[in-house]
Amino acid sequence: MAGKPFDPKKFPGMKRIHAFEFMDFRWFPGFLRDYMTDFLQFISNRFDIYKPVVPMIEEALSKAEENRIIDLASGGGGGLLKLAEHLQHNNPDLTIVLTDFYPNNAAFKRTVSLSPVFTYYEKSVNAMAVPSELKGLRTQFLSLHHFRPEDAVKILQNAVDAGSPIALFESQERNVKSVLSMLFSPVSVLLVTPFIRPFSLGRILFTYIIPLVPLFILWDGVISAFRTYSVKEMEQLVARVKNNESFEWKIGKQQSGPGTVPYLIGWKKGN
């Protein structure tokens, strides 16, 4: 998200580069943002990227005695369909509430129609100031890198202040391997677009005739790798949170296929 440039004195040694991503801008056309998130969701489900972190989410739910997930920065929410299937095996009463700063309610409704585990919040939700009525395990998938360090700290601080468990996951690292994989993303877009549902003539037009979608995904994908927090940098974020000692934190990386899933998870001690 946009914000003031971070003060390097507050975060010594932080080497991430917070260049811009098109999807962060308010002026960016909503239909293009939706086509891009549709692609990311298709890849997430097709390759079951987050299956390896299911035990971590289950542990966080158990420790916090929750059966409700408040997903922040959900995009269209469809990227969680496979994950929801896995989580329901051990928690059949699970509910996942989809939210976003730019809520795509039409996409939310489609996701809800595909699985009864989902519901959604129609209003805009700022991950740094989550409405008090949204109680449960807060999650973010592939979105922490969108926030500058000061704002990322505010996300964690808001969770700690509310006593709310939180689990943040990415699907790339800031390394050569991730950047190279992002450079080939336009090829992936061209190959999978015909299989993305619901079918859209607009998606076909802006993928093959006027190839804006693959170009924007290429840029945002490469920049997302440069923006991604390392394990040590996520530890720095937690260290800046007031009363962080009241939470138990788990920070690391989990192998997922050929890639890794960096994670930052916390819940209130004593639960």
Question: Over 90: is that where the pLDDT of 5 sits?
Answer: no
Distances (CA, A) of 3 to 6, 122, 127, 131, 231: 8, 24, 14, 21, 23
| 217: number of Cβ within 10 Å | 24
CATH number of this structure's domain 22-268, picked from the four choices 1.10.238.10, 3.30.420.10, 3.40.50.150, 3.30.530.20 = 3.40.50.150
Q: Is the peptide bond before 149 cis (omega within 30 degrees of 0)?
A: no
Domain spans of the chain, in order of start: 22-268
Distances (CA, A) of 271 to 62, 152, 214, 241: 9, 24, 45, 20
Q: Residue 114 in contact with residue 85, Cβ under 8 Å?
A: no
Q: Which amino acid is at 64?
A: A
Show the DSSP H helices in 72-200 as ranges: 81-90, 105-114, 149-162, 176-183, 185-192
Mean pLDDT check: name the lowest of 10-14, 80-84, 122-126, 202-206: 10-14
Across the range 176-200, mean pLDDT stands at: 94
What's the pLDDT score for residue 69? 97
Q: What is the pLDDT of residues 52-96, one digit of tens each?
A: 999 999 999 999 999 999 999 998 787 899 999 999 999 999 999
Across the range 132-150, mean pLDDT stands at: 96
What's the pLDDT score for residue 9? 63
Q: What is the pLDDT of residues 199-225, one digit of tens each?
A: 999 999 999 999 999 999 999 999 999
3-state secondary structure of 22: helix
Q: What is the pLDDT of residues 233-269, one digit of tens each?
A: 999 999 999 999 999 999 999 999 888 999 999 999 9
Q: What distance lies between CA 238 and its chain's CA centroid? A: 18
Across the range 148-174, mean pLDDT stands at: 97
